[in-house]
Structure 1
């Protein structure tokens, strides 16, 4: 991966998440473009989340889920190799004053439909029932045609065929997208992802962040703002 990413050059850095930095690369063998996620030593996630993502992505196949091409563990180096998504993540379009102009209503509708199909597959149609637990704009990647793909399954939970909910003492995810019952009681279910999708849907339609903005006419969040139909 050193040669593929030009020794993890800053020029090839695509972004950084909870796992660590992500770099653009090109395989020497066939010149295929890839994205390499490298575990940071300061990462809040670790080997457990890495293994979780590898296992899940090897078993899940859907056009609206990002594809993992391989992985690497050598000493303290832990890396995941993904298909390269040239348009990066949804948040880079939604919340950028210039880029958001490229998202007309047809593109936004197509993105919403694609995320919905991917989520339906995870909850109902795959061999495993999967609860993602961290659905948000930065975890929605866009291909060359602006088709969305759900990514980052490090925090996802696998449930049995007849299991639709679970409980955990370790609440993980991103505040602003987590369902209240999950934050308060650690109870997660397919409904948790539906709640996150609802927040994501509001952000796609409005082009505004759920967190970080103050709406003086309502409850200081996008959800509180749109709950008053006069504001939306």
Structure 2
């Protein structure tokens, strides 16, 4: 041991207290994949990674558009599971959209403005209705497809993603409108009504009122 080691002892990551480790893992630069890798290293880190507020922060920081749209956040009890669902929907939606070109090719040959068929709508609706926040996770996956790469890359997938997005967004609008109309007149606002109308007519645009 050198004289320097006497004054500056060597510290390892595991020597840090749990509170500080949690603070480090909460940093924006730490991804969800980083958390999974950390959890696999030892039981102590696994327990820290299971902290619900940590996953809540990850969803809020890494998927801000999803976070802004989620209603009833206070009712969520398992944010880790919500993040897993969000990522699972990414894969499912990508698989669905990628399959639409070959499935609807005949329709596309017969019409310049092809509409999604009932079986496709049924698949989309099954995804959307599978969990409470599924519509917002599906929209996130569709948004990723549309915004991926340049405007002229993967245009077929983007075309179908926009078709599915319209269907999902307008489905959400219908449910939100029904909830809005079921309220007492004193709880209905002109601003919220206008917001719902704007969402219906602009299904490809993220429209939201930040609280």
- Is TM (by shorter chain) over 0.5? no
TM-score, normalised via structure 2 length: 0.31
Q: Highest Rg: 1 or 2?
A: 2
TM-score, normalised via structure 1 length: 0.29
